[in-house]
């Protein structure tokens, strides 16, 4: 009887040990990061909008709703969690343009109006809620380009011009309202790529060209105009960063790439550490998988929303908390 009791006890301990080990393993496998629902966009659901952030306000406008190209323009207040409509974008209605901000003013330009690729650009003043046309982009007109700003200048490049994918880059000086072409980028042509800025250094990657998702990843130092190739986005077998039509942003010294297209719409999110040149998978975006979404970030708070999945156009918005554990009740 004593031997039978001992045997039962050993079996119970083994099952209990296995159970705790499995739970511990599951916990270790969970990605870090949590998404919390924020105010649904007040306007028409859409994809391919252009966005920028000034202080704690995210601005976005234009886009395509499945039927029409749009030119309305909106602001999202991060602190108040509400949307408000602003003065309409003055250019032709479009999607697949770019947006960036320089010293408290926003810029939107390029894109596609359903017939032609575009090269016009406009400056938005949030204080007066007014738009002004600036110098047209002097290169080939295009859509699905990449843009960013550093130290008082805007940068614009890559994209698709209607015939070919592009790899040229240009610098915009708002003090002289002029564009200058830059040299030195040795990466792939690409459209629908992403870029984010960490401590004054630009990181460029993702995108597609010739029907293939591009895996090269680069950093750009605007102070020296030098491009440096980093490890490819598929360097590790566990990486699944390669995609197009994604959202990227910077928060607390890390870069992030979220959602996009990877043989279909995806919701996955990846964090980039510039000190180690290493990517880590985070909790996927909690809403529907999507491409051509928008992103707002002030450096400490970040939001992703809108976009489309197949023919469904979306209007939801989520805030991302990279250091929180995932909670599906949020």
Span 67-82, pLDDT tens digits: 999 999 999 999 999 9
Burial (CB < 10 A; 0-12, 13-18, 19+), residue 153, is middle
Average pLDDT, the chain: 92
Q: What is the pLDDT along the chain (330 residues), one digit of tens a residue?
A: 434 334 333 333 333 333 333 333 344 456 799 999 999 999 999 999 999 999 999 999 999 999 999 999 999 999 999 999 999 999 999 999 999 999 999 999 999 999 999 999 999 999 999 999 999 999 999 999 999 999 999 999 999 999 999 999 999 999 999 999 999 999 999 999 999 999 999 999 999 999 999 999 999 999 999 999 999 999 999 999 999 999 999 999 999 999 999 999 999 999 999 999 999 999 999 999 999 999 999 999 999 999 999 999 999 999 999 999 888 776
pLDDT in tens, 248-294: 999 999 999 999 999 999 999 999 999 999 999 999 999 999 999 99
Strand order in the sheet with 146-150: 146-150, 153-157, 169-173, 178-182
- The three-point CA angle 50-56-62 to 5° equals 15
Q: How far apart are the first and last CA of the chain?
A: 53
Calpha distance 251→302 (Å, rounded) = 7
**How far apart (Å, rounded) are the C-alpha atoms in residues 187 and 16?**
54
Residues in the chain: 330
Across the strands, what pairs with 100?
107
Q: What is the pLDDT of residue 327?
A: 80
pLDDT of residue 29: 54
Biggest CA pair distance of the chain? 94
Distance (Å, rounded) from C-alpha 16 to C-alpha 23?
Answer: 11
């Amino acid at each position: 009887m004593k031997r039978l009791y001992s045997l039962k006890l050993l079996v119970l301990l083994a099952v209990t040990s296995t159970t705790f080990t499995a739970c511990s393993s599951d916990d270790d496998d969970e990605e870090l990061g949590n998404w919390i629902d924020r105010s649904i966009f007040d306007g028409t659901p859409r994809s391919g909008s252009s966005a920028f952030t000034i202080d704690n306000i995210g601005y976005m406008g234009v886009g395509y709703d499945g039927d029409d190209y749009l030119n309305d323009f909106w602001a999202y207040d991060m602190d108040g969690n509400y949307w408000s409509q602003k003065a309409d974008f003055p250019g032709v209605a479009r999607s697949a343009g770019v947006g960036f901000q320089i010293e408290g003013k926003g810029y939107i330009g390029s894109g596609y109006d359903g017939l032609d690729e575009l090269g016009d650009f406009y400056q938005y003043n949030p204080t007066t809620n007014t738009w002004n046309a600036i110098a047209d982009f002097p290169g080939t007109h295009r859509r699905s380009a990449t843009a960013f700003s550093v130290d008082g200048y805007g940068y614009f490049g890559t994209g698709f011009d209607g015939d070919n994918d592009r790899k040229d880059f240009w610098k915009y000086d708002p003090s002289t309202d002029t564009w200058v072409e830059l040299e030195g980028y040795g990466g792939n042509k690409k459209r629908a790529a992403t870029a984010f800025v960490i401590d004054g250094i630009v990181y460029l990657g993702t995108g597609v060209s010739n029907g293939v998702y591009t895996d090269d990843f680069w950093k750009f130092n605007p102070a020296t105009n030098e491009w440096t190739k980093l490890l490819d986005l598929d360097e590790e077998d566990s990486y699944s960063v390669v995609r197009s039509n994604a959202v990227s942003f910077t928060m607390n010294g890390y870069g992030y790439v979220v959602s996009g297209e990877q043989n279909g719409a995806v919701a996955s999110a990846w964090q980039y550490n510039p000190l180690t040149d290493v990517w880590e998978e985070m909790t996927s975006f909690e809403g529907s998988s999507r491409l051509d979404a928008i992103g707002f970030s002030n450096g400490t708070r970040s939001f992703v929303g809108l976009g489309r999945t197949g023919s469904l156009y979306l209007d939801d918005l989520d805030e991302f908390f990279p250091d929180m554990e995932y909670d599906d009740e949020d």
